[in-house]
């Protein structure tokens, strides 16, 4: 096997590991939002991740003496997209089930080709359009209730998916010339900065519950494993494989999220939800065939 083939394999394995970490995080986030404000969940996980990345860079002996302004701007863009996406995802998880939150998030797979059309003038083919319609059907089955209303948490999660689609596209664009590890550290720094600024603006009191052993463990998991390790794996491994393939592999996050939510949170999984998940996975499969 040539070098490119090995990079594809290691890149795919790295992304799957990231999705496993993120899948479990849906359970942690859902449980944590009962007692910790959403902005503090984000601020603390980004703070822990930022400190972890600084230590990682020091150990790697690659902490840059000076970062060019264009790279700082790239990190700022990624930080804003990451914050906005995870804000709506976390807020959405508060008002819906962790399993539905995980699956609806995968809408970003379908949106990536359409956003590439808008940004880089790459027109999506018929398979992309078909996948989009199937995904909409899946989201409808997952979200629309008997009175034809959409649950607030599900709508917020769709916004998250749009933000993540943009994040994937800009990660692919920026990592062509910029060190992905430096970009990861910068995006955490800016996402952390935005979180604390929002907290100060809203004058949200600090939740002392974060110092309780159980909650502290959850914050460490979200900061070190779900945020630092997960996004580091994503931004490094995504550089080695096609962005459409990467977006498809990343959707296994939904499978892990649904699995953990049913097993650990004992969430109800109805036949209608199953049909919605099948539609979402069918849309992903169409995208995967396109990517190959």
* 161 neighbors 106 (Cβ within 8 angstroms): yes
Partnered with residue 150 across adjacent β-strands are 144
- Check: pTM over 0.75? Answer yes or no: yes
- Give the pLDDT band (50/70/90) at residue 291: very low
Q: Which residue has the higher pLDDT, 243 or 39?
A: 39
What pLDDT score does 85 carry? 95
* More confident site: 239 or 234: 234
Task: Look at residues 104, 99, 46, 77 and name the one whose alpha carbon lies nearest to residue 224.
Answer: 46
At 180, is the pLDDT very low, low, confident or very high (cuts 50, 70, 90)?
confident
Distance CA 229, CA 24 (A): 13
Per-residue pLDDT, 149: 59
Instruction: Tell me if residue 144 falls in helix, strand or coil.
Output: strand
Beta bridge partners of residue 144, listed in sequence order = 150
| pLDDT per position as a tens digit, 89-119 | 999 999 888 888 888 887 877 787 778 777 7
Q: Which of 198, 194, 204, 170 is nearest to 184 (CA)?
A: 170
Q: Residue 130 is encoded by which pair of tokens?
A: 């078909």
Other beta carbons within 10 angstroms of residue 148's beta carbon come to: 7
Pick from 218, 183, 175, 199: nearest CA to 82:
183
Return the pLDDT at 292.
Answer: 46
Q: Give per-residue pLDDT as tens, 187-229.
A: 999 999 999 999 999 999 999 999 988 899 999 999 999 999 9
Cα(first)–Cα(last) distance of the chain, in Å? 18
Q: What is the pLDDT of residue 39?
A: 95
Angle at 101 between CA 97 and CA 103, to 5 degrees: 120
């Amino acid at each position: 096997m040539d070098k490119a083939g090995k990079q594809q394999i290691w890149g795919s394995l790295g992304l799957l590991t990231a999705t496993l970490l993120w899948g479990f995080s849906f359970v942690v986030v859902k449980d944590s939002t009962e007692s910790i404000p959403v902005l503090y969940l984000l601020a603390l996980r980004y703070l822990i991740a930022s400190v972890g990345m600084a230590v990682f860079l020091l150990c790697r002996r690659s902490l840059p003496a000076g970062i060019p302004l264009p790279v700082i701007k790239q990190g700022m863009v990624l930080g804003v997209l990451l914050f906005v996406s995870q804000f709506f995802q976390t807020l959405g998880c508060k008002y819906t089930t962790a399993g539905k939150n995980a699956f609806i998030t995968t809408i970003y797979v379908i949106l990536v080709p359409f956003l590439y059309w808008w940004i880089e003038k790459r027109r999506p083919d018929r398979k992309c359009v078909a996948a989009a319609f199937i995904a909409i059907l899946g989201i409808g089955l997952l979200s629309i209730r008997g009175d034809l209303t959409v649950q607030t948490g599900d709508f917020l999660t769709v916004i998250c998916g749009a933000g993540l689609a943009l994040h994937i596209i800009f990660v692919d664009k920026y990592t062509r010339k910029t060190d992905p590890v430096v970009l990861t550290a910068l995006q955490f720094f800016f996402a952390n900065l935005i979180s604390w600024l929002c907290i100060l603006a809203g004058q949200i009191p600090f939740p002392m519950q974060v110092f309780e052993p159980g909650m502290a463990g959850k914050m460490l998991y979200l900061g070190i494993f779900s945020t630092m390790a997960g996004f580091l794996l994503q931004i490094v491994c995504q550089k080695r494989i096609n962005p459409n393939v990467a977006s498809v592999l990343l959707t296994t996050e939904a499978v892990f999220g649904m699995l953990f939510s049913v097993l650990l949170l004992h969430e109800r999984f109805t036949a209608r939800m199953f049909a919605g998940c099948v539609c979402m996975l069918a849309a992903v499969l169409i995208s995967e065939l396109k990517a190959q």
